[in-house]
Amino acid sequence: MTLDRRQFLSRSVFFAVVPALPVGLAACGGSDADETEALPPAGTHHFPQGVASGDPRPDSVVFWSRCVRADGSGADIALTLEVSTAENFAPLLASVALGARATWDHTVRAKVTGLPAATALFYRFRAGRDLSPTGRTRTAPAATSTPAQLKFAWFTCQDWSINHWGAMDLIAAGDHDFVVHVGDYIYETTDAAFQAGVAEPAHGAIRLPDGAALPGGGRYATTLADYRTLYRTYRGDTRLQAVHAKFAFIGIWDDHEFSDDCWQDHQTYTNANLQQTARRRAASQAWVEYMPVDFGDVSFDTANAAYDNLRIYRDFRFGTLMHLVMTDQRLYRDDHVVDEATLAAAQGHDPVNGSDSIGARYFVQQPVLAQFEAARTAALGRAPSILGATQTAWWKATMQASSATWKVWGNEVTLGRMGLDLRTLAPAPYNALYVVNADGWDGFTRHRAELMAHLKTAGIRNVVAITGDLHAFQCHVVRDDPDPAVGTPVLVDFVSAGISSSSFYSYIKAGAGTTPLAALAATPAIFDATLQAHNPDLRHADHDAQGYASAVVTATSFDVTFHKVRPLNADGTAPASPLLSQKTLRVNAGTVEVG
């Protein structure tokens, strides 16, 4: 029977925290006969987005689902979460009464505490006579234990509207202790220019209930209903559901959960960088509704009218072997260093409705970036920042206090330097020294230097970053000063390609067009070799790729495998065997080198 007395939060709350049943009081699954007779008929409820678990600790896990009525009515639904160490759910470790309310789009989440460490668990949700799919998860190792190894995968950039999600099948088939998402779980746009390619037949067109016209074509999400539609659709894919149902999930956002290349509550579709607080808050609410996040460690305050009414940066310990530190690189970041409107005005472009992302955020001339960064630093009284002052202090303290063998930074945007020196390789006006991607850490050089210097001066060793965003596989050695002649290596940054998003190379090739730069992007191999030649700390590069990354962590090494998937078949269908190739790289403990 359901032991409602063991709850200390009611069915109506957004997030329930409930202790596991004490040994000897564990209940059997199912309902009493008199309760069963009063239940509505089977098929009354269903769980269209499956189940998920997340934010694993040694003694707790968060469990999530969405339950709706089959008749489409929006009434609230009473349901029960069941957790057990046995697949037949006998006995139960927890039985938690919950309520799926329209207020939260009929999503539910509950944190069960007092669970045994390093233990495989089964869970499901019960609504009347209807059961959700059964999920599996695992608690983290005990804080003082030293696991022989950890295995996890991380993934990013899963655009519904392009290519295929075959990489999800590969992740679900893997042997992982947990999975990490480093952002771009959804894309806020539909039918945008960069989404003009072919998508697999399983992914039909998305129609936003509200939406607004996107400059250049397409539409973008503007309301809570829009963002909920995106999450419902993405989570409706059975392959993504399989990943969530099999592994505990640790997620952070990047930009597309709100708006491309966003900063704080500003979008960057035009040079105006419009402030859209209500839209930012809608995007944030949809994210917290659909992510299995531990709100005992983060905060979410709907009564706070500010754009930053929540905090999602947090950290996870896996015994003494690994410490995972997840940062938020959008909500607190300053505006991009090179102001689009100022640059546009200087070049005779439209400073309001135009788009000078090329020159301000991408392929930025290095002297221009340095000039703007110096001016912004003087104006702010500090260097322009990605993390913001409070999160920066937290990151420094967390990294310095960590006693784990490996300190792993869940980092959204690339840390390694990506420069191109075309001063002798291209005719005017292209003959300049460029920063390729100033939306990443390359655009905030002083803030990056501050963090890397902290790692060096504090003697923090065995630091690895796991990154996404770029739509490419990369591995960088990152220094306190990016100049290899003077800089000291302090960490290794592993960048995963996107699940499906168009590759970085495809953007470069399209942008080069028929300009003199086209020769540098004539083939993927030429572009990879060019970028590596100009950036000696770029130790691996594959810029024409989709896929995901996985890691095997031991006390002596950190091994990363890049899993590259095949493109769509010629007829537009997804490949039956999606894996194309794998590349494994190793960092040995005590070194900052890649083998």
Give the pair of three-digit tokens for residue 348: 């005779």
Where do you find CATH 2.60.40.380 in the chain? 4-116
Residue 545 sits at the vertex; the CA angle it makes with 542 and 549, to the nearest 5 degrees, is: 85
* Cα–Cα distance, 507 to 517 (Å, whole number): 13
Q: Give the Å distances, CA to CA, from 341 to 331, 346, 351.
A: 21, 9, 4
C-alpha 386, offset from chain centre = 16
Average pLDDT of the segment spanning 419-440: 95
Average pLDDT of the segment spanning 96-114: 96
Output the DSSP codes for 15-32: SEEEEPPPTT-PBPSS--
Give the pair of three-digit tokens for residue 566: 């095949």
pLDDT score for 150: 98
Where do you find CATH 3.60.21.70 in the chain? 150-588
Q: Which among 394, 518, 510 is positioned nearest to 451, based on CA atoms?
A: 394
* 4-116: CATH superfamily: Purple acid phosphatase-like, N-terminal (2.60.40.380)
* Cα–Cα distance, 359 to 349 (Å, whole number): 12
φ, ψ of residue 284 in degrees (nearest 5):
-65, -45
Asked if residue 582 lies in contact with residue 562, where contact means CB atoms within 8 angstroms, the answer is yes
Between β-strands 77-84 and 51-54, what pairing exists: parallel, antiparallel or unpaired? unpaired
**Residue 358 pLDDT level (bands cut at 50, 70, 90):** very high
Over residues 242-254, the pLDDT tens digits come to 999 999 999 999 9
pLDDT score for 297: 79
Asked if residue 251 lies in contact with residue 186, where contact means CB atoms within 8 angstroms, the answer is no
**Residue 29 pLDDT level (bands cut at 50, 70, 90):** low
pLDDT at 129 over 80: yes
Q: What's the alpha-carbon Rg for the chain, to the nearest Å?
A: 24
Residue 137 sits at the vertex; the CA angle it makes with 134 and 142, to the nearest 5 degrees, is: 155
Residue whose pair of structure tokens reads 């305050």 in the numeric block: 301
* Cα–Cα distance, 350 to 259 (Å, whole number): 21
Mean pLDDT of all residues in the chain?
94
Q: Give the Å distances, CA to CA, from 409 to 244, 333, 414.
A: 22, 17, 12
**Fold (topology level) of 150-588:** Purple Acid Phosphatase; chain A, domain 2 (3.60.21)
Residue 69, beta-bridge partner list: 45
* Cα–Cα distance, 285 to 253 (Å, whole number): 12
Question: In sequence order, which residues have a C-beta less than 8 Å from that of residue 570 and are 6 or more positions away?
Answer: none
Residue 529 sits at the vertex; the CA angle it makes with 527 and 530, to the nearest 5 degrees, is: 65
Residue whose pair of structure tokens reads 């990506």 in the numeric block: 418
pLDDT score for 36: 59
Between β-strands 419-421 and 433-437, what pairing exists: parallel, antiparallel or unpaired? antiparallel
**Residue 7 pLDDT level (bands cut at 50, 70, 90):** very low
**Residue 33 pLDDT level (bands cut at 50, 70, 90):** very low
Question: In sequence order, which residues have a C-beta less than 8 Å from that of residue 298 and are 6 or more positions away?
Answer: 310, 311, 312, 313, 314
C-alpha 273, offset from chain centre = 23
pLDDT at 30 over 60: no
Average pLDDT of the segment spanning 551-575: 97
Angle between helices 389-401 and 445-457 (to 10 degrees): 20
Over residues 214-232, the pLDDT tens digits come to 998 999 999 999 999 999 9
Burial of 363 (0-12, 13-18, 19+ CB in 10 A): buried
pLDDT score for 4: 34
Q: What is the dihedral of CA 173, 177, 182, 185, to 10 degrees?
A: 50
End-to-end CA, the chain:
56
pLDDT at 9 over 90: no
**CA quadruple 31, 34, 39, 43: dihedral sign:** positive
pLDDT score for 2: 30
Write down the H helix ranges in 355-435: 357-360, 366-380, 389-401
pLDDT at 142 over 70: yes
Percent of the chain with pLDDT over 70: 95
